[in-house]
């Protein structure tokens, strides 16, 4: 069913429906996003319907963002942190029929890209995520709640994968047999995570948890980073989440959507650019254990995303929207190949990390 924001929603945010152009916006999988443009002056807003099957307590998102915004305003005045535009009643979320809507400003002069197409973009984006983490590194994490509990808990994702294998329809299981075996062969990644997660030197930080390049606003002319966006999963987590998702999504010339896996390669210059950008901002604050896991970050995120896609395929495509029957299968296969390509280059990539760490010290 096509979802469109109705007049009541637009009016709740103080907008006159007749005076607006409304269109679909962005390429996220989870929420429904619209760009609103006022006909009279061309000013723009981003309106989102939060997916409550995924974000079971939308109020947690709003509370986490508010705490982070207050802290940043006090400690780093002038830093651009996108916060919701309240409704005419002063609320961050408009709730109607168990639908949660929120509006944020559209930052004039910004663009997003779905794929990094030069190393500078990777550097700029990584710098923005590094800066966010570094500016928030002194914040008290106790009042923060998980907007999605166990979101990047690989132990539980792995358990969900095993359960999906047990419960899958026979035809899907048969079709995916080889792919399942391949992913099971890399289960040491889940074991390493399991060991790391209780290490006191492997700390919690306030992480973004969705550091795809299209979650960074870039200047439309210079492609310099402006700020990060899509803050739904801003919550306590590990450094490997944010760093790893950048490796997963900036280093390869094609995205997880590409079924032709011959196009999957590791672009070392992009790997170096993102490491450099990230570590320039946050390198100085990392513990020894965290620094030792920088290569692992990419493995961790690619593996987790791969088994999430495969789990969804085995479960009958209940989480990620698909455009064709084997879509989640192809996405999982894509991630498996990316994981292999990354591991093949481990020595070269670790040398790059060592170089970047040295510079950031």
Q: Which residues bind Mg ion (CB under 5 A)?
A: 28, 210, 230
DSSP state of 114: S
Q: How far is the CB of 305 from ligand GN1 (least distance, A)?
A: 6
Q: Kindly report the backbone phi and psi dihedral angles of residue 228, in degrees, each rounded to the nearest multiple of 5, phi listed first.
A: -95, 160
Residues 205 and 186: their CA atoms lie apart, in Å, by 27
Residues 34 and 23: their CA atoms lie apart, in Å, by 5
Q: Which of 305, 315, 334, 360 binds ligand GN1 (CB under 6 A)?
A: 305
- Quick note: the x/- pattern for ligand GN1 over 129-168, rule CB under 6 A, is -------------------x--------------------
Q: Determine contact, residues 350/358, Cβ cutoff 8 Å.
A: no
Nearest of 142, 308, 155, 317 to residue 236 by alpha carbon:
142
325-334 long-range contacts, CB within 8 A, separation 24+: 326/175, 329/175, 329/176, 329/179, 330/259, 331/256, 331/257, 332/176, 332/179, 332/183, 332/306, 332/307, 333/179, 333/259, 333/261, 334/254, 334/256, 334/257, 334/258, 334/259, 334/261, 334/264
Rg (CA), the chain: 20
Residue 210 sits in the site that holds ligand GN1 (CB under 6 A)? yes
Residue 339 contacts by C-beta under 8 Å, 6 or more apart in sequence?
186, 299, 302, 303, 306
Of 11 and 31, CB closest to ligand GN1: 31
Residue 30 sits in the site that holds ligand GN1 (CB under 6 A)? yes
Residue 295 contacts by C-beta under 8 Å, 6 or more apart in sequence?
346, 349, 350, 353
> What stretch of H or E contains 32?
strand 32-38
Q: How far is the CB of 252 from ligand GN1 (least distance, A)?
A: 13
Q: Kindly report the backbone phi and psi dihedral angles of residue 132, in degrees, each rounded to the nearest multiple of 5, phi listed first.
A: -55, -50
Of 54 and 63, CB closest to ligand GN1: 54
Of 27 and 118, CB closest to ligand GN1: 27
The listed partner (ligand GN1, Mg ion, none) that binds 29, CB under 5 to 8 Å by sort, is ligand GN1
Helices 346-360 and 268-282: angle between axes, nearest 10 degrees:
30
Q: Where does this chain touch ligand GN1 (CB under 6 A) — which range of 26-34, 62-70, 74-82, 89-97?
A: 26-34
Of 154 and 213, CB closest to Mg ion: 213
Of 246 and 352, CB closest to ligand GN1: 246
Q: Where does this chain touch ligand GN1 (CB under 6 A) — which range of 22-30, 97-105, 236-244, 289-297?
A: 22-30
Q: How far is the CB of 8 from Mg ion (least distance, A)?
A: 26
Q: Where does this chain touch ligand GN1 (CB under 6 A) — which range of 3-11, 28-36, 76-84, 113-121?
A: 28-36
Q: Kindly report the backbone phi and psi dihedral angles of residue 139, in degrees, each rounded to the nearest multiple of 5, phi listed first.
A: -75, 145
Residues 66 and 59: their CA atoms lie apart, in Å, by 11
DSSP H helices in 168-254: 170-175, 177-185, 188-196, 239-250
The listed partner (ligand GN1, Mg ion, none) that binds 32, CB under 5 to 8 Å by sort, is none
Q: How far is the CB of 29 from ligand GN1 (least distance, A)?
A: 4
Of 29 and 185, CB closest to ligand GN1: 29
The listed partner (ligand GN1, Mg ion, none) that binds 305, CB under 5 to 8 Å by sort, is ligand GN1
The listed partner (ligand GN1, Mg ion, none) that binds 242, CB under 5 to 8 Å by sort, is none
Residue 29 sits in the site that holds ligand GN1 (CB under 6 A)? yes
Residues of span 36-75 touching ligand GN1 by CB under 6 A: 54
The size of the interface with ligand GN1 (CB under 6 A), counted in residues, is 8
Would you tell me which residues interact with ligand GN1 (CB under 6 A)? 28-30, 54, 148, 210, 256, 305
């Amino acid at each position: 069913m096509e979802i469109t924001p109705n007049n009541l929603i637009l009016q709740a945010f103080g907008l006159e429906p007749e005076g607006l152009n409304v269109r679909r916006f962005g390429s996220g999988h989870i929420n429904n996003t619209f760009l609103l443009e006022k006909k009279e002056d061309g000013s723009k807003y981003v309106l989102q319907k939060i997916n409550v099957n995924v974000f079971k307590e939308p109020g947690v998102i709003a509370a986490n963002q508010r705490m982070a915004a207050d802290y940043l305003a006090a400690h780093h005045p002038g830093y651009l942190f996108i916060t919701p535009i309240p409704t005419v009643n002063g609320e961050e979320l408009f709730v109607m029929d168990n639908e949660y809507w929120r509006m944020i400003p559209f930052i004039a002069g910004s663009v997003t890209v779905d794929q990094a197409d030069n190393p500078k973009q990777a550097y700029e984006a990584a710098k923005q995520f590094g800066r966010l983490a570094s500016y928030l590194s002194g914040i008290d994490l106790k009042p923060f709640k998980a907007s999605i509990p166990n979101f990047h808990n690989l132990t539980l994702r792995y358990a969900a994968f095993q359960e999906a294998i047990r419960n899958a329809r026979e035809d899907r299981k048969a079709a995916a047999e080889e792919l399942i075996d391949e992913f099971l062969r890399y289960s040491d990644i889940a074991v390493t995570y399991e060991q790391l997660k209780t290490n006191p030197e492997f700390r919690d930080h306030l992480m973004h948890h969705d550091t795809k390049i299209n979650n960074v606003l870039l200047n439309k002319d210079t492609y310099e980073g402006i700020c990060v966006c899509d803050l739904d999963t801003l919550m306590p987590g590990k450094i490997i989440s944010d760093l790893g998702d950048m490796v997963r999504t900036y280093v390869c010339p094609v995205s997880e959507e590409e079924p032709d896996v011959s196009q999957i390669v590791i672009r070392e210059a992009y790997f170096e650019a993102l490491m450099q950008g990230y570590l320039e901002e946050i390198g100085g604050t990392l513990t020894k254990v965290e620094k030792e896991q920088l290569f692992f970050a990419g493995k961790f995120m690619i593996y987790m995303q791969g088994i999430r896609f495969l789990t969804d395929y085995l479960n009958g495509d209940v989480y990620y929207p698909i455009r064709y029957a084997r879509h989640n299968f192809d996405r999982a296969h894509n991630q498996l190949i990316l994981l292999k390509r990354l591991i093949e280059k481990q020595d070269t990539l670790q040398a790059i990390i060592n170089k970047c760490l040295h510079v950031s010290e």
